[in-house]
Structure 1
Amino acid sequence: MYFNRRFLTILLISIFFFIYKYFNIKSYVLKKNNLTSNYYQLNKKSNDSIIKVKSNLLELSINCLGGDIEEVILNKYNNTLNSSDHLKILKKTNNFLYKTNSGFIIKNKNYINGLHSYKPVFYKKNNIFNFYKEQKELRIPLVFSPRKGLFFTKTFIIKPNQYKIDIEYNINNQTNEDIKSFVYGELIQTINIPKSDIKKNKISLQTFRGIAYSSDLNKYKKYDFSLVKKNKNLQIKTHSGWIAMLQQYFTTAWIPNDKKIKYFYTKKNKNEAIVGYKNDDVTIHSKNKYSTLSSLWVGPKDQKQMFSISPYLELTVDYGILWFISKPLFILLSYLNSIFNNWGVAIIIITLLIRFLLYPLTKSQYISMAKMRFLQPKIEEIKKKFYYDKYLTSRKIINLYKKEKINPIGSFLPIIIQMPIFLSLYYMLINTVELRHAKFLFWIKDLSTYDPYYILPVLMGMSMFLMQYTVNYSNINDENKIISNLIPVIFVIFFLWFPSGLSLYYIVSNFLSILQQKFINNNLNINSNIQKNS
């Protein structure tokens, strides 16, 4: 019994001795590196380290471990059409990461590099920041002091009705030595989207998801994630510009606001693509201060706000090679929507305007088509008469067209002109955030995606059949009739997964074509004119 007591006493003394030595060693390391202990709180996971910020448009989560924005919720946008949850653009889940990194790098040899190996822990005043009534801006300062007399401050500045977040960087050097440092900002995102997040049962041209940037040499340039995955990385030196990550309807972009030299770069970390910028090195002399400002856009592709923030940032709304049609089309649609407060009605009026402007060409097309139908017996007669010479047959048919003043190419001209308009409307519907979840009537709750009951594609197919029925096929052989009847069926299959706004445009266009055909045919006696010429 006495032995057991002695053994326990020795054991307790030994434990206390080791604890004492451990803290003394840690204290010695801190003193040796002349750093405060908050620099070493690297793996501390606590709700106390998260700052919650809320404006009328944004909800942010800022982690004091690194002082980075790790989560952004957009209060004006729902996650999906029928969801009550707001869209989370920056987030961290088990299989997907999308966040920002930003801060300072100290380049002095006796300091620990804070970018990749270590994350500083910033001090903050509060855990929750909300706007008060009529408050013009909200400032969230975070302070980090790696040694006595040296202070690094990141201040997040948020304003109401804005998706832009300004970040003010300040270095106050009250030590007896010069400090060499630079500021950086990064966007980090998992390259492969989880299968659960990929939209199913939707066949469409995919919108671009990846990197974009603007620099002294390029107003707007896209850079695919696949290039980063292959370690083909960007290294750009520039005075102006921005770097961004794009997705459908939304984007996140770093905009360094000073005009000094900066570097844009990309790199890969496992399955994550990283795009970032870093300012040129700055020396902060003893007893001096330094400050710079960057902006972070995190939100929808709002062309008006983006245009006012940075040159060419609005180009992230990518309309492709037909941008010169899509842009004015969107401006006109926006104006009509401001009057009728319905994007579907705006699409209908746009269709009416297009058909009205194309009416002279449409009239010429229908007259040519009608004349060609009435000329079919004569053409067949020429083919039978000169069957032995194909060249002579072609010459005779061309002469017949010239005599009747028919231009076969003219009959296709309205279709050729409408195709770019059709594609421009498509790209506008899938890229313009204003049309995301835009309601029309009844069951159509989102003009930017397919009709959930497939009613509009079926109506579109029926309108195509009806349009063909108004054309006289009496002189067309059965084989061509079968092909003509298959075209509407093929179109219906494709349109099942096309945006419902596009189906609406096509339905209205087809019914207008039918009315125009009937009007032209009733007011022109083509057959009698051809008989006279004969």
Structure 2
Amino acid sequence: MNQTRTFLMFALMAVAYFLWNAWEKDYGPQPLAPVAANTSDVEVSPVATIPGQTPSEAGQQGGGRLVTLSNDVLRLTIDTRGGNIVKSELLAFTATPRTKKNPDPAPTTLLNDNSNDIYVAQSGLVSSGGAAPDHRALFQSSQSHVEMAAGQDGARLDLVWQGPNGVKVVKSYALKAHSYVVGFEQNISNGGSTPWQGNAYEQLQRMAPVEDHSWWKSISDPSSHSFFGGGWYSPQDKFQTLGFDAFKKHPLNQTTSGGWISMLQHYFFVAWIPSGNETETFSTAILGSDSARPSYILRAVSPSITVAPGQSYQHEARIYIGPKLQGTLDAVAPGLDLTTYYGWFTLIAQPLHWLLSKLEALCGNWGVAIILLVLLIKAAIWKLTAMQFYSAARMRKLQPRVDALKERYGDDKMKMQQAMMDLYKKEKVNPMAGCLPVLITFPVFIGLYRVLSESVELRQAPFFGWIHDLSAQDPYFILPAIYVLVMLATQWLTPPPAGMDPAQARMMKFMPLLFAVVMAFFPAGLVLYWIINGGTSLIQQWMIIRRVEQTDTKLRTS
């Protein structure tokens, strides 16, 4: 198959992939059917007893004050009303790229209690027989700002609640240096005269985003193809996603130990990670289901807790608030690396990400790493592509004889095709020689597209010059224009398929323009990959054409 047909095959595969991707997003497999929870050791029903809090109610809550806790990578804002994390800022990730015009952009905000887009991490205690501080209770703090000082390895914030029944609860958050993991404790001290019984819980509450289903959004914003919703993990069922529509269709009610719950989005996520030595109940809830924008809750509830008079009990958990840093998250909790979801191309994308990260470690630039990746791939399939280009070069030499066959057989297409096949067989030309290389390079192309779209390491990664973000489109469309030039040069070196209809031939001439439109909205790193891939193929093709011509010249003169 010659290079022109390769372009057409690639275009058809690309269209098929994006259609499949859109279908998967809307009609893909649903989560596993919920497993009935074993609630024999849970004395308090998690959904019936734990109070909800709609966005409007959250805005009306008063009496609390905001306290901040920070290390070198994370700044948390905690409301003493409930002792909840109502805002988180990722200090190492800016909301917009750093440029000369904007040298100090604001950090990326993940959790936020904005009433128009509420996203908070809540926790508390509930009891069926006595007072307990849920996520609406008023805590006290002697501190207003806790920051990890230079030379320290962490920082800690304590919030105190004192009940009328003699029960005292200290809710604590702790940060360590360079870490997005937040340690969390609820220490229950029973100073009363009767046993205290209840449950501890942690939950994530989030409003669904306002979705834009326009075709422009789908091709111009890579985040539109990224999963946005809930997720949970257990050692038995592994990682399961929960789209916001699944909260109603497939409500979760599952008991497990060693798992976690999370809210996922493009590049970042938040996950409550309960202590692995207890059996927790994972469940879902919807607040304001009749409203235009309901609020969705993923919750983990502990087994029943009993604290005798004069005794204390400490309930522990962790919460991860940060980026999807591949290769590091499984050390935080089993299965946490799965939050970076590549879909069907995981088997290709994960090794590509690993190889890209190794190359970037060598050269210090993700764009250069992409170029080196292309060169490695081209070296690996050099002989396969050489077969394709030798076939194309021989067909180029045979073009005058093919034209003669057209004149001889006229409109008799069957005789024409048979004569062409006889000619190819006699001259040892295989018109299908180009199929295998494109079947190899296309999955790599899609795998790299997923890596560039989902890997936070490539977010806002600069290349050189005007390319400040390899995961976003080229702002001046220079790289797509360069790729068009590569395609035009390749088209000039490649003979049109024999017997092609004139209308098809004219359409093929517009292929570079079609690809220019498509590539204009792809991530700049992906277009860079395809430029280097096409450029090296162009050089290889030109070298082989020259070699074939020199060989033919020697044969004629000998």
**TM-score interval w.r.t. the shorter chain?**
0.7 to 0.9
SS at match of 1:157: strand
Equivalence for 2:546: 522
Instruction: Measure how far apart 1:389 and its partner are.
Output: 9.1
- Rounded to whole Å, the distance in 1 between the matches of 2:334 and 2:475 is 39
Equivalence for 2:19: none
The aligned amino acid for 2:122 is: N
The aligned amino acid for 2:169 is: F
Q: Please state if 1:173 is matched with 2:190.
A: yes
Equivalence for 1:86: 107
- Rounded to whole Å, the distance in 1 between the matches of 2:547 and 2:144 is 77
Residues 279/290 of structure 1: CA separation in 2 closer, same or farther (3 Å cut): same
Equivalence for 1:141: 158
Which is bigger in relative contact order (C-alpha 8 A, separation at least 6)? 2
Is the deviation greater in 137-146 or in 203-212? 203-212
SS at match of 2:449: helix
Is the deviation greater in 80-89 or in 315-324? 80-89
Cα-to-partner distance string for 1:396-453 (whole Å, 9 max, x where unaligned): 6656555544444331211111111101111111111111111111111000000111
Cα-to-partner distance string for 1:40-70 (whole Å, 9 max, x where unaligned): xx96635x62111121111111111111000
Residues 201/513 of structure 1: CA separation in 2 closer, same or farther (3 Å cut): closer
**Partners of 2:353 and 2:451 within 8 A in 1:** yes
- Rounded to whole Å, the distance in 2 between the matches of 1:71 and 1:510 is 46
Equivalence for 2:62: 45
Q: Please state if 1:153 is matched with 2:176.
A: no
**Partners of 2:363 and 2:369 within 8 A in 1:** yes
Cα-to-partner distance string for 1:147-185 (whole Å, 9 max, x where unaligned): 343122211111110000010122122323222211111
Which of 371, 383, 402 aligns to 2:394? It is 371
TM-score when normalising by structure 1: 0.83
- Rounded to whole Å, the distance in 1 between the matches of 2:422 and 2:263 is 59
Q: Please state if 1:266 is matched with 2:290.
A: no
The aligned amino acid for 1:62 is: I
The aligned amino acid for 1:225 is: F
Which of 222, 237, 246 aligns to 2:255? It is 237
Give 1:142-291 correspondences, 5 Å limit: 142-193=159-210, 202=220, 204=222, 206-228=225-247, 230=248, 232-270=250-288, 271-291=294-314
**Partners of 2:281 and 2:300 within 8 A in 1:** yes
Residues 388/351 of structure 1: CA separation in 2 closer, same or farther (3 Å cut): closer
**Partners of 2:392 and 2:494 within 8 A in 1:** no
**Partners of 2:218 and 2:225 within 8 A in 1:** no
Which of 63, 66, 72 aligns to 2:82? It is 66
Which of 490, 493, 496 aligns to 2:520? It is 496
Equivalence for 2:358: 335
Q: Please state if 1:447 is matched with 2:460.
A: no
- Rounded to whole Å, the distance in 2 between the matches of 1:445 and 1:527 is 47
Residues 43/382 of structure 1: CA separation in 2 closer, same or farther (3 Å cut): closer
Residues 244/371 of structure 1: CA separation in 2 closer, same or farther (3 Å cut): same
- Rounded to whole Å, the distance in 2 between the matches of 1:162 and 1:430 is 24
The aligned amino acid for 2:71 is: S
Equivalence for 1:485: 509
Instruction: Measure how far apart 1:130 and its partner are.
Output: 1.4
- Rounded to whole Å, the distance in 2 between the matches of 1:370 and 1:200 is 39
- Rounded to whole Å, the distance in 1 between the matches of 2:321 and 2:113 is 16
RMSD after superposition = 2.9
The aligned amino acid for 1:239 is: S
Instruction: Measure how far apart 1:92 and its partner are.
Output: 2.3
- Rounded to whole Å, the distance in 2 between the matches of 1:234 and 1:209 is 17
Equivalence for 2:41: none
- Rounded to whole Å, the distance in 1 between the matches of 2:427 and 2:202 is 70
SS at match of 1:518: helix
- Rounded to whole Å, the distance in 2 between the matches of 1:439 and 1:279 is 45
Instruction: Measure how far apart 1:201 and its partner are.
Output: 8.3
Q: Which runs of 5+ in 2 are unaligned?
A: 1-58, 289-293
SS at match of 1:524: helix
Equivalence for 1:132: 149
**Partners of 1:96 and 1:193 within 8 A in 2:** no
Residues 526/273 of structure 1: CA separation in 2 closer, same or farther (3 Å cut): farther
Q: How many residues align?
A: 481
- Rounded to whole Å, the distance in 2 between the matches of 1:302 and 1:312 is 13
- Rounded to whole Å, the distance in 2 between the matches of 1:394 and 1:482 is 21
SS at match of 1:363: helix
Instruction: Measure how far apart 1:93 and its partner are.
Output: 2.3
Greater Rg by CA: 1
TM-score when normalising by structure 2: 0.79
Give 1:326-365 correspondences, 5 Å limit: 326-365=349-388
The aligned amino acid for 1:466 is: A
Cα-to-partner distance string for 1:243-302 (whole Å, 9 max, x where unaligned): 111111111011112322111111211211111211121222333222221110001111
